[in-house]
Amino acid sequence: MLSKQMQDALNEQVKIEAQSSQVYLAMASWAEIQPGIDNITSFFYKHSDEERMHMMKLIHFINDRGGFAVVPSLEQPTLTYPSLKHAFSELLAHEVYVSESINKLVDIALKEKDYATHNFLQWYVAEQIEEEALARTMNDKLEMIGDEKSGLYLFDRDILNVTVANNTQV
Ligand code: OFO
Protein backbone atom coordinates (compact mmCIF):
# COMPACT_ATOMS: atom_id res chain seq x y z
CA MET A 1 0.00 0.00 0.00
CA LEU A 2 1.28 3.43 -0.94
CA SER A 3 1.63 6.12 1.70
CA LYS A 4 -0.23 9.37 1.08
CA GLN A 5 3.05 11.18 0.47
CA MET A 6 4.29 8.56 -2.00
CA GLN A 7 0.95 8.51 -3.81
CA ASP A 8 0.87 12.31 -4.14
CA ALA A 9 4.46 12.36 -5.41
CA LEU A 10 3.74 9.62 -7.97
CA ASN A 11 0.63 11.50 -9.10
CA GLU A 12 2.78 14.59 -9.58
CA GLN A 13 4.99 12.45 -11.83
CA VAL A 14 1.91 11.34 -13.79
CA LYS A 15 1.37 15.01 -14.57
CA ILE A 16 5.02 15.54 -15.52
CA GLU A 17 5.00 12.59 -17.94
CA ALA A 18 1.70 13.76 -19.45
CA GLN A 19 3.09 17.27 -19.80
CA SER A 20 6.25 15.84 -21.43
CA SER A 21 4.06 14.07 -23.95
CA GLN A 22 2.34 17.39 -24.74
CA VAL A 23 5.65 19.25 -25.05
CA TYR A 24 7.00 16.75 -27.58
CA LEU A 25 3.68 16.57 -29.41
CA ALA A 26 3.84 20.34 -29.90
CA MET A 27 7.45 20.02 -31.12
CA ALA A 28 6.29 17.35 -33.59
CA SER A 29 3.48 19.50 -34.93
CA TRP A 30 5.85 22.46 -35.34
CA ALA A 31 8.49 20.26 -37.02
CA GLU A 32 5.91 18.80 -39.39
CA ILE A 33 5.34 22.17 -41.06
CA GLN A 34 9.09 22.84 -41.48
CA PRO A 35 10.49 21.77 -44.84
CA GLY A 36 12.65 18.66 -45.20
CA ILE A 37 12.73 17.29 -41.66
CA ASP A 38 10.28 14.42 -41.90
CA ASN A 39 12.31 11.99 -39.80
CA ILE A 40 12.87 14.55 -37.06
CA THR A 41 9.11 15.07 -37.06
CA SER A 42 8.58 11.32 -36.62
CA PHE A 43 11.13 11.30 -33.81
CA PHE A 44 9.16 13.95 -31.88
CA TYR A 45 5.85 12.15 -32.44
CA LYS A 46 7.36 8.90 -31.25
CA HIS A 47 8.91 10.60 -28.24
CA SER A 48 5.52 12.02 -27.36
CA ASP A 49 3.97 8.54 -27.54
CA GLU A 50 6.71 7.16 -25.30
CA GLU A 51 6.03 9.79 -22.65
CA ARG A 52 2.37 8.83 -22.68
CA MET A 53 3.44 5.22 -22.14
CA HIS A 54 5.54 6.37 -19.15
CA MET A 55 2.46 8.09 -17.75
CA MET A 56 0.34 4.96 -18.27
CA LYS A 57 2.88 2.78 -16.43
CA LEU A 58 2.64 5.12 -13.44
CA ILE A 59 -1.16 5.19 -13.51
CA HIS A 60 -1.34 1.38 -13.45
CA PHE A 61 1.27 1.13 -10.70
CA ILE A 62 -0.48 3.62 -8.42
CA ASN A 63 -3.85 1.90 -8.86
CA ASP A 64 -2.38 -1.61 -8.52
CA ARG A 65 -0.83 -0.63 -5.19
CA GLY A 66 -4.09 0.47 -3.63
CA GLY A 67 -3.83 4.14 -4.52
CA PHE A 68 -5.77 6.31 -6.93
CA ALA A 69 -4.09 7.70 -10.03
CA VAL A 70 -5.32 11.19 -10.80
CA VAL A 71 -5.57 12.20 -14.46
CA PRO A 72 -4.21 15.76 -14.47
CA SER A 73 -5.08 18.91 -16.33
CA LEU A 74 -2.21 20.20 -18.45
CA GLU A 75 -0.70 23.50 -19.49
CA GLN A 76 -0.37 24.47 -23.13
CA PRO A 77 3.21 23.75 -24.20
CA THR A 78 5.44 26.03 -26.30
CA LEU A 79 3.97 25.88 -29.79
CA THR A 80 6.74 27.22 -32.02
CA TYR A 81 10.53 27.43 -31.94
CA PRO A 82 12.92 29.88 -33.60
CA SER A 83 15.05 26.95 -34.80
CA LEU A 84 15.58 23.22 -34.53
CA LYS A 85 18.49 23.92 -32.24
CA HIS A 86 16.17 25.70 -29.83
CA ALA A 87 13.74 22.79 -29.88
CA PHE A 88 16.43 20.21 -29.11
CA SER A 89 17.97 22.36 -26.43
CA GLU A 90 14.52 22.62 -24.82
CA LEU A 91 14.18 18.84 -25.12
CA LEU A 92 17.44 18.32 -23.22
CA ALA A 93 16.48 20.84 -20.52
CA HIS A 94 13.14 19.08 -20.14
CA GLU A 95 14.74 15.65 -19.77
CA VAL A 96 17.14 16.97 -17.11
CA TYR A 97 14.14 18.37 -15.22
CA VAL A 98 12.33 15.00 -15.46
CA SER A 99 15.42 13.15 -14.21
CA GLU A 100 15.57 15.42 -11.16
CA SER A 101 11.94 14.74 -10.49
CA ILE A 102 12.48 10.95 -10.72
CA ASN A 103 15.42 11.25 -8.32
CA LYS A 104 13.17 12.99 -5.79
CA LEU A 105 10.71 10.10 -6.03
CA VAL A 106 13.50 7.59 -5.42
CA ASP A 107 14.51 9.62 -2.40
CA ILE A 108 11.00 9.50 -0.92
CA ALA A 109 10.73 5.74 -1.59
CA LEU A 110 14.01 5.12 0.22
CA LYS A 111 13.10 7.31 3.18
CA GLU A 112 9.80 5.46 3.52
CA LYS A 113 11.47 2.05 3.00
CA ASP A 114 8.97 1.51 0.19
CA TYR A 115 11.10 -1.00 -1.70
CA ALA A 116 8.38 -1.97 -4.17
CA THR A 117 8.13 1.62 -5.39
CA HIS A 118 11.89 1.96 -5.30
CA ASN A 119 12.19 -1.12 -7.51
CA PHE A 120 9.49 0.17 -9.88
CA LEU A 121 11.28 3.52 -10.22
CA GLN A 122 14.55 1.93 -11.34
CA TRP A 123 13.07 1.54 -14.83
CA TYR A 124 12.56 5.33 -14.96
CA VAL A 125 16.07 5.98 -13.66
CA ALA A 126 17.56 3.87 -16.48
CA GLU A 127 15.23 5.43 -19.05
CA GLN A 128 16.26 8.96 -18.06
CA ILE A 129 19.96 8.11 -18.36
CA GLU A 130 19.30 6.95 -21.93
CA GLU A 131 17.10 9.88 -22.88
CA GLU A 132 19.45 12.49 -21.46
CA ALA A 133 22.42 10.93 -23.27
CA LEU A 134 20.47 10.87 -26.53
CA ALA A 135 19.37 14.49 -26.15
CA ARG A 136 22.99 15.55 -25.42
CA THR A 137 24.27 13.75 -28.52
CA MET A 138 21.67 15.46 -30.67
CA ASN A 139 22.48 18.88 -29.26
CA ASP A 140 26.21 18.28 -29.88
CA LYS A 141 25.50 17.26 -33.47
CA LEU A 142 23.33 20.31 -34.13
CA GLU A 143 26.04 22.50 -32.63
CA MET A 144 28.56 21.03 -35.09
CA ILE A 145 26.20 21.39 -38.06
CA GLY A 146 25.51 25.08 -37.46
CA ASP A 147 23.63 26.53 -40.43
CA GLU A 148 24.83 23.98 -42.96
CA LYS A 149 21.93 22.57 -44.97
CA SER A 150 23.79 19.40 -45.95
CA GLY A 151 24.50 18.70 -42.26
CA LEU A 152 20.83 19.06 -41.44
CA TYR A 153 19.99 16.65 -44.25
CA LEU A 154 22.29 14.03 -42.67
CA PHE A 155 20.95 14.77 -39.19
CA ASP A 156 17.42 14.12 -40.42
CA ARG A 157 18.52 10.93 -42.15
CA ASP A 158 20.46 9.64 -39.11
CA ILE A 159 17.74 10.31 -36.57
CA LEU A 160 15.84 7.49 -38.23
CA ASN A 161 18.48 5.05 -36.90
CA VAL A 162 18.12 6.47 -33.41
CA THR A 163 14.38 5.93 -33.60
CA VAL A 164 14.80 2.37 -34.90
CA ALA A 165 17.42 1.53 -32.24
CA ASN A 166 15.10 2.79 -29.52
CA ASN A 167 12.24 0.73 -30.92
CA THR A 168 14.14 -2.50 -30.49
CA GLN A 169 14.82 -1.66 -26.86
CA VAL A 170 11.26 -0.80 -25.84
FE1 OFO B 1 9.42 10.03 -19.41
O2 OFO B 1 11.03 9.85 -20.15
FE3 OFO B 1 11.80 11.43 -20.73
O4 OFO B 1 10.91 12.62 -19.92
Q: Which CATH number is associated with domain 4-169? A: 1.20.1260.10
Cα 29 to averaged position of ligand 1 atoms, centre (Å): 19
Residue nearest to atom 1 of ligand 1 (CA): 51
In this prediction, residue 149 has a pLDDT band, given cuts at 50, 70 and 90, of confident
pTM: 0.93
For the CA of 95, the closest atom of ligand 1 is 4
Over residues 118-131, the mean pLDDT reads 97
Q: What is the pLDDT of residue 95?
A: 98
Alpha helices of 33-148 — where are they, by DSSP H? 38-64, 84-111, 115-145
In a 13 Å sphere around the CA of 75, the CA atoms on its Cβ side amount to: 5
